[in-house]
Amino acid sequence: MAPLFRQHHQARPWAWLASLLISALLLLGTAWPAMALAVGDLPALPPTTHVLDRAKVLSRAASGDIEKALTALEADHLDAQLITIDRLDYGVSLEQLGQQLLQKWHDAAPDQSRLLILLDTQTRAASLVADPSVERQLTPDLLRSTARTTMALPLRSGERYRQATLDGLERLATVLAGGEDPGEPVEETVTAPASTIPSQEETAKSNAFTWIVALLAVGTIVPMLTWWIFSR
């Protein structure tokens, strides 16, 4: 007996397409690259705090330690800021971004002597830029060396952003206080312990010597045995 009522299921192409589009957007959303940072994305006026952690790599304790170290430079009439970023705008170097931001903030507050410390968390690089008035004490060579050696070492050895910043500031503070530049850090060279396992060359030499001894022994003993047997 045929059923009195028949349910007709009509396909809905638009619903299938909508579901596919939503799934694709969700997948792309998780892998969508972070937006590049340009100077226009940074504050138009110098911030009231000394730490601008745009990359979100500093803990609250680390930010507090760096804030204290940067605030201490105010005694030398130097306003210093740390800026962390995670993605540079295409074609702009870290130093160029610092120079652009330095000019931007100098136009807003021309009476301030400013030092900018920039950390790129993507490349684990640092850059220090300063006003010309600051460069009379902190020369461009000193700033460049501090960024590329003093700060680079902790960054390369484990992304230690707090340690890199404090090490760099300690070197600059020594010079600002009239002391001699401590110089670049000395990288420790790790010497591998002497191995007790013979090398391939040593093994080959050892085997060759063994064969020579064995052949000499055979060459000596066999004639003597032959003479002894046939002489009886």
pLDDT in tens, 112-154: 899 999 999 999 999 999 999 898 899 999 999 999 999 999 9
29-33, 39-43, 224-228: range with highest mean pLDDT:
39-43
Is 216 a domain residue? no
Residue position matching structure tokens 């993605």: 87
Is 29 a domain residue? no
Question: CATH no. for residue 69?
Answer: 3.10.310.50
Determine the length of the chain: 232
Query: How far apart (Å, rounded) are the C-alpha atoms in residues 177 and 75?
Result: 10
Total-model pTM: 0.67
Is 155 a domain residue? yes
Give the number of domains in the chain.
1
- Does residue 67 have a pLDDT over 80? yes
Is 2 a domain residue? no
Query: How far apart (Å, rounded) are the C-alpha atoms in residues 110 and 107?
Result: 6
Higher pLDDT, 180 or 189: 180
Q: What is the mean pLDDT of residues 182-193?
A: 68
Is 15 a domain residue? no
Helices (H), 73-199: 94-108, 140-145, 152-156, 161-176
Higher pLDDT, 199 or 101: 101
pLDDT of residue 159: 86
Percent of the chain with pLDDT over 70: 66
Q: In the chain, count H helices and then E strands.
A: 7, 4
Is 1 a domain residue? no
pLDDT of residue 26: 47
Sequence-separated (6 or more) residues with CB below 8 Å from residue 199? none
Range of the domain at 71: 39-176
- Does residue 33 have a pLDDT over 50? no
Cα-flanking dihedrals φ and ψ of residue 127, to 5°?
-150, 140
Is 82 a domain residue? yes
List C-alpha distances in Å: 108 to 149, 160, 161, 177: 32, 32, 29, 28
pLDDT of residue 54: 93
pLDDT grade for 186, boundaries at 50, 70 and 90: confident
- Does residue 160 have a pLDDT over 60? yes
Q: What is the mean pLDDT of residues 19-39?
A: 54
Residue position matching structure tokens 């461009």: 140
**CB contact at 8 A, 52 and 37:** no
Nearest alpha carbon to residue 176 among 119, 113, 118:
113
Q: What is the mean pLDDT of residues 38-48?
A: 84
Is 144 a domain residue? yes
- Does residue 5 have a pLDDT over 50? no
**CB contact at 8 A, 69 and 166:** yes
- Does residue 209 have a pLDDT over 70? no
pLDDT of residue 100: 93
